[in-house]
Amino acid sequence: MLLRLLLRATRKKRRKTQERPIQVPARPTPVPSTTRPAPPRRPVPAATQSVSIETPTSPLIGKCWVIDGDTIQIGKVRLRLAGIDAPELEHPWGKRAKWQLVQLCKGQSITAKLEPDLSYDRLVATCFLPDGRDLSAEMVKSGMALDWKKFSGGKYSHLEPEGVRKKHWKAAARQRGDMRTFEK
């Protein structure tokens, strides 16, 4: 009985929507112009758009929040560590990289020397601990980040532990299912 009532209620709703006439908006009549129309604008890729970010005065000093293995935030300014590439959080080593950076920065005031580059709407900076150690160098030494030669010019390549690139690649391949893990 209840099922029949529900079916009737839905049928009535369908009939009501079918009875409504469809209204088509009238098209405006084109006005002839003597000037030439502007060419259509092509969309600009997000990576090449100019982004207006308020650049704080350099150096930026303060306690930081760690976002991931190569991104920190001092105040309201999000910074990417210059010259390195750490795994993203979804990568098997991503959370380890983040927590390594948390351990380095925990309770310390970070000094960031800003660079003129932008990376995905983040300012790029070389960041230092109070004792003068470079955060990027420390992350590469620990094996939680890789030297990004394109942007660092090979500044941190001598600090990479042997086989670290292969370790990161294998972990990502296993996660994607591209490589079998062999048990001993």
More confident residue, 56 or 174: 174
pLDDT in the model for residue 28: 57
Architecture, CATH, for domain 60-176: Beta Barrel (2.40)
76: alpha, beta or left, given left = phi > 0 and alpha = psi -120 to 50?
A: alpha
Distance CA 13, CA 156 (A): 68
Bigger pLDDT: 142 or 2?
142
Beta bridge partners of 55: none
How far, in Å, CA of 71 to CA of 76, rounded?
13
Burial class (CB in 10 A: 0-12, 13-18, 19+), 92: middle
**Whole-angstrom Cα distance, residue 19 to residue 136?**
68
What is the pLDDT, as a whole number, of residue 48? 44
The predicted structure's pLDDT at residue 96: 93
The residue ranking higher by pLDDT, 180 or 64, is 64
pTM of the model: 0.63
pLDDT tens-place string over residues 74-101? 999 999 999 998 988 988 888 999 999 9
